[in-house]
Amino acid sequence: MAKEIRVALIWHMHQPDYRDPVTGVHLLPWVRLHSIRGYTDLAHIAETYPHFHQTVNFSPVLLTQLCELSVNLDRDHFYLLSKKPPEELTESEKDFLLRHCFLINWDTHVRPHPRYHQLLMKRGTDVEGVDLEYVRARFTRSDYRDLVVLFNLAWCGFTLRNEPVVQSLIQKERGYTEEEKLTLLDLHSKTLKKVIGTHGTLAKDGIIELTCTPENHPILPLLIDSHVRPDHHPDTPEFKHPEDARRQLIRGLEIFEAVFGFRPRGMWPSEGSVSQDAVEMIQDIGLRWIAADEALLLEKSTGTKIPPNATMFKPWLVGNPDGPPLHCCFRNRGLSDD
């Protein structure tokens, strides 16, 4: 008989800040594209299996971008360009589409689809080595429209692929109309707008737990003191700003609370990186638990004895023993990475 094991799943949702600091335009589409894919799929799985509890960690910098795009998705440069009819595209915009509308795994999403693969071959597989002016002239209006639809279609996750509009576009394969393209992009917009609300509802219903990271995803131990590691280079100038680390922690919690309406109990420190000072700082602001990598526990273990799995993967009390209780869960790197 198979032995039952208990697995705690923590999903980390993070995207760097893709906004132009001057214009505020989102220069890369990954917040939107991961929203219509993994973020939506994970929420759907949680809704489908409500007794299978999971933890979802949102970085505040991702939440901020999600909120902005939920209000106005036209701030997404890729999205805005995708909406333009081919006859209105400038030469530089056509080059942009030729460069970027194949940014997806070719083996699973391009080569299996004859039309998408045909367009890739027409452009060339080495975008840096092709003459875009020559390629641009060879692409017809229908080519550009199909390229935009197929790129945005390929990024749709399993949940969206059950939508009738997506299924019909997949079956059609080529020769898309402007109306069909805009319908697909409108589905992207509607789906992104649901991400925060759906996860918030799942958390309030007790199906998932929501946590966050510090505001801008900093490596807390290095922000507190860059010389925290004993093997730091002696000639490296010391960078020591614990006040900024505390601000990042507090701002992260404030952003999370402003978005979801409650304060999280737990946190995934950026990259799972912690130090004694970082742990005590987290403890001081009132969080109840954090998670980190098992390598940190092994590094701090006395001597060379490795804690058995039964001990390693239980919550550990960490921080100042005189402070409020703070537990740390150490992830199994094999399960996480493999």
pLDDT at position 79 is 98
225 secondary structure, DSSP code:
-
CA triple 326-331-335, angle to 5 deg: 160
Using the Cα atoms of residue 334, residue 49, residue 66 and residue 197 in order, give the sign of their dihedral: negative
pLDDT at position 205 is 98
Count of Cβ atoms closer than 10 Å to residue 196 Cβ: 18
Backbone angles phi, psi at 301, to 5 degrees: -65, 145
pLDDT at position 296 is 79
pLDDT at position 235 is 75
Look at residues 147, 47, 42, 139 and name the one whose alpha carbon lies nearest to residue 102.
Answer: 147
pLDDT at position 293 is 87
Query: What would the DSSP string read from start to end of 37-80?
Result: IIIHHHHHHHHHSTTS-EEEEE-HHHHHHHHHHHH-GGGBHHHH
Beta bridge partners of 291: 329
Q: 3-state class of 200 per DSSP?
A: helix
Tell me if the pTM is above 0.75. yes
E strands, 238-320, are 266-267, 289-293, 316-318
Q: Which residue ranges make up each domain of the chain?
A: 10-204, 213-337
Between CA 281 and CA 90 the distance in angstroms is 52
Distance of CA 208 to the CA centre of its chain: 17
Taking the chain (338 residues) in runs of 10, the rounded mean pLDDT of each run is 84 97 97 99 98 96 98 98 98 97 97 97 93 95 99 98 98 98 99 99 98 94 83 78 95 98 97 92 97 80 58 87 94 81
